[in-house]
Amino acid sequence: MEEIRNYTMNFGPQHPAAHGVLRLVLEMDGETIVRADPHIGLLHRGTEKLAESKPFNQSIGYMDRLDYVSMMCNEHAYVRAIEGLLGIEAPVRAQYIRTMFDEITRILNHLMWVGSNALDLGAMAVFLYAFREREELMDVYEAVSGARMHATYYRPGGVYRDLPEQMSKYRESPWHKGSDLKRLNAWREGSMLDYLTEFTNDFPARVDEYESLLTNNRIWKQRTVGIGVIPPEKAQAWGMTGAMLRGSGIAWDLRKKQPYASYAEMDFDIPVGVNGDCYDRYLVRVEEMRQSNRIIKQCVAWLKANPGPVMTQNYKVSPPSREEMKSDMEALIHHFKLFTEGYGVPAGETYAAVEAPKGEFGCYLVSDGANKPFRVHLRAPGFAHLSSMDAIVRGHMLADVVAMIGTYDLVFGEVDR
């Protein structure tokens, strides 16, 4: 009788569900996974080392490019670490703006996730639906920072500038004219906060549309229910955070447990799963979008009622105004010093973390008193999640590996820094 042997196959890096960078070496028994060995190192850009060679502010843009679907949340952890060593705090208005944009970023991330995960499992329509709302929020990113993705908007001590009083409008073109143009510009007559008011009123109905396509869809449930079950004790042992942990029934969320920015003033709930499978993690992320919408509404209401500064008036870390530079030579010197040398940060070490859309994103920062970090190390949630791949997919079919990669919500810019 001929001996039956396992065979080994490469999954990725070109496979769409491997997002172009992950290489999985799968040991197979027919279509069943016996062992999975994730190989990373195909994207490594040396972000942490690059940050050690530049003044503090010049590395904010690197943070956007780590998890390039959760841009401002990455910035938030980095600037909070710098603020911790400097002993400064952003003004209250800036804290509310940060809270609002963290939640806008969470919705952007989850829209990308629900669209791409559905696409990985064979459902195409929801991807197109989700990108409709992503475009509307990308316009907010662009209005406030000038960039649609890599905003570099947060600063130690606050944010780059206050929210604009006017949203840009679509112009007439062969593609947009007449009643179509009027509809596209209907939300854009007022300020950014007015625009976000309209968006938050409209968004719950859009989430209902995604759910009508997926939540009770028989094929979607066959691909996700009972797949990739992670018991709560295993989720903790692997260092999981975010929806991966909450999907297993553990209500751990830094926004509630260790509040930062203005989260202590926000009214929102932490959705948790029951079974810890791919389907529960889908439900958790969908509900997180609804909760983010609630938080944005609260921030918009507060920001409309409370004008004020958005940057600390500390010339060490923030540039003086043009008026001050014209009349005050010391302010002019501070301006040049800030943009040429940057600023020194007192010697010490700190760790600052935020509840990023994918989980706990943290920045460990060491300063030796110079104008650039001595050491930067970033805690990426996806890296901890990926380490559990082998244990979770064993015994599953090959097609279930795609569902697991999708449910991890991996972006390799942060996994392989």
Average pLDDT over residues 78-93: 92
Compute CA 103 distance to the chain's CA centroid, rounded to the nearest angstrom.
Answer: 9
pLDDT tens for residues 358-405?
999 999 999 998 889 999 999 999 888 988 888 888 888 888 888 888
Give the per-residue pLDDT at 326: 75
Q: Which amino acid is at 276?
A: G
pLDDT tens for residues 312-367?
888 778 887 777 777 777 777 777 777 888 788 899 999 999 999 999 999 999 99
Query: With contact defined as beta carbons under 8 Å apart, do 250 and 272 qualify?
Result: yes
The dihedrals phi and psi of 61, each to the nearest 5 degrees, come to: -65, -25
What is the rounded CA–CA span in Å between residue 319 and residue 325? 9
Residue 266 above 70 pLDDT? Answer: yes
Residues 6 or more apart in contact with residue 156 via CB below 8 angstroms: 56, 57, 79, 82, 83, 86, 88, 317
User: What 3-state DSSP class applies to 57?
Assistant: helix
Terminal alpha carbon distance of the chain: 49
Compute CA 71 distance to the chain's CA centroid, rounded to the nearest angstrom.
Answer: 6
Average pLDDT over residues 14-41: 85
pTM (two decimals)? 0.91
pLDDT tens for residues 134-166?
998 999 999 998 888 898 899 998 999 889 988
The alpha carbon dihedral of 171, 129, 127, 282 has a sign of: positive
Give the per-residue pLDDT at 1: 46
User: What 3-state DSSP class applies to 416?
Assistant: coil
Give the per-residue pLDDT at 300: 94
Average pLDDT for the chain: 88
Nearest residue to 365 via CA among 381, 382, 352:
352
To the nearest 10 degrees (0 to 180), the angle between helices 398-408 and 278-305 is 20
Quickly list H helices, 89-191.
92-120, 125-145, 179-184
- CA distances from residue 294 to 134, 197, 287 in whole angstroms, order as listed: 17, 11, 11
Query: With contact defined as beta carbons under 8 Å apart, do 89 and 83 qualify?
Result: yes
Average pLDDT over residues 284-308: 93
What does the DSSP 8-state code read for residue 397? B
What is the rounded CA–CA span in Å between residue 258 and residue 264? 9
Place of tokens 């195409």: 124
Give the per-residue pLDDT at 112: 92
Question: Token digits for 275?
Answer: 């079974």
Residue 82 above 60 pLDDT? Answer: yes
Question: Token digits for 248?
Answer: 């297993």
**Quick one: pLDDT band at residue 3, thresholds 50, 70, 90?**
low
Give the per-residue pLDDT at 415: 86
Nearest residue to 417 via CA among 374, 362, 336:
362
- CA distances from residue 409 to 120, 248, 358 in whole angstroms, order as listed: 12, 16, 7
pLDDT tens for residues 47-68?
989 999 999 888 888 999 888 8
pLDDT tens for residues 227-249?
889 999 999 999 899 899 999 98
Residue 303 above 90 pLDDT? Answer: yes
What is the rounded CA–CA span in Å between residue 307 and residue 48? 37
How many other β-carbons are positioned within 10 Å of the β-carbon of residue 374? 14
Q: What percent of the chain has pLDDT over 90?
A: 44
Place of tokens 């509310």: 96
Residue 84 above 60 pLDDT? Answer: yes
Rounded to 5°, the CA angle 317-57-242 comes to 110
Question: Token digits for 168?
Answer: 């840009």
Give the per-residue pLDDT at 169: 82
Give the per-residue pLDDT at 4: 55
